[in-house]
Structure 1
Amino acid sequence: MSTATVANRLVTLCREGKYEEAQRELYAKDAVSVEPQEMANGPMGNAKGLKAILEKGHQFQEAVEKIHKNEVSDPVIADGWFSVAMHLDATMKGRGRADMREICVYHVKNDKIVQEQFFYDVH
């Protein structure tokens, strides 16, 4: 699978809200997830390994009460890297409505995502 194939598949699944399916299908077992420095050590912080990334996803989904908007841009691809802009407007349990926008950068090796890194402002 080329980087473009992985990128387009990830975008398709994320647009459908199938984040866990995307991770199980496209991520390497030893993939790494990197958050901004301010968030790195929290429960939704950095994660190493697919199992930890899946658990992080479960925790996030448990915190979501309702999704109002889920947008994912087309990917921008350069060799083994690609990025997408994501916009999630959701009501979070106990926190109210949150409008979240981020740039997500992915590294692909041997047809699998080996790293994801998220860039967003922490409010």
Structure 2
Amino acid sequence: MDTKTNDIAAVANRLVELCRTGQYDQAQQELYAEHAVSIEGAGQDADSITRGMAAIREKGKQWADNLVEVHGGSVSDPVIADGWFSVAMGLDATYKDMGRVAMKEIAVYQVRDGKITHEQFFYNTDKS
């Protein structure tokens, strides 16, 4: 692996390590660029795109405030390509507004200068 790929692998492996232990805030503090962008789902709604770490932290706080109980979860090993990596994530949790939901998603991250600058989550939004 070249140096750039090694740097991306280091960020990817650290993110997986932190997510597997539920340390999402630590992951954001340690691994994200201040100007990072986060996109939920297809990113077609204006409110599905979050720009900057202050807004991303607030989005995470709102998610955590809605969480009642985590029943289980999973984070795959990362798949790394030029400047990007992805992981499959699963979460079985009970939420205040939705009840118990088991969901799976693919998360894709861009890394530049040793920091995550872009994240996007792909998951089914229909419940059928």
TM range (shorter): over 0.9
Structure having the higher Rg: 2
Could you tell me which of 71, 75, 79 is aligned with 2:74? Answer: 71
1:107 correspondence with 2:110 = yes
Q: Tell me what 1:16 maps to.
A: 21
Long gaps (5+) in structure 2: 1-5
1:51-109 Cα deviation digits (max 9, x unpaired): 11111000001111000012100000012100000000000113210011100000000
Name the CA shift for 1:38/1:79 in 2 (closer, same or farther; >3 Å): closer
Matches of 1:122 and 1:38, distance apart in 2: 12
Q: Is the contact between residue 89 and residue 104 of structure 2 (CA under 8 Å) also seen in structure 1?
A: yes
- The 5 A counterparts of 1:28-107 are 28-37=33-42, 40-42=45-47, 45-107=48-110
Q: Report runs of 4+ in structure 1 exceeding 6 Å deviation.
A: none
Q: Is the contact between residue 34 and residue 40 of structure 1 (CA under 8 Å) also seen in structure 2?
A: no
CA shift, 1:27, in A, is 0.3
Q: Is the contact between residue 91 and residue 102 of structure 2 (CA under 8 Å) also seen in structure 1?
A: yes
TM-score by length of 1: 0.93
Q: Is the contact between residue 38 and residue 122 of structure 1 (CA under 8 Å) also seen in structure 2?
A: no
Percent identity, aligned pairs only? 54
Count of residues in Structure 1 that have an aligned counterpart in Structure 2 = 121
Q: CA RMSD in A?
A: 1.4
Secondary structure of the 2:92 match is strand
Long gaps (5+) in structure 1: none
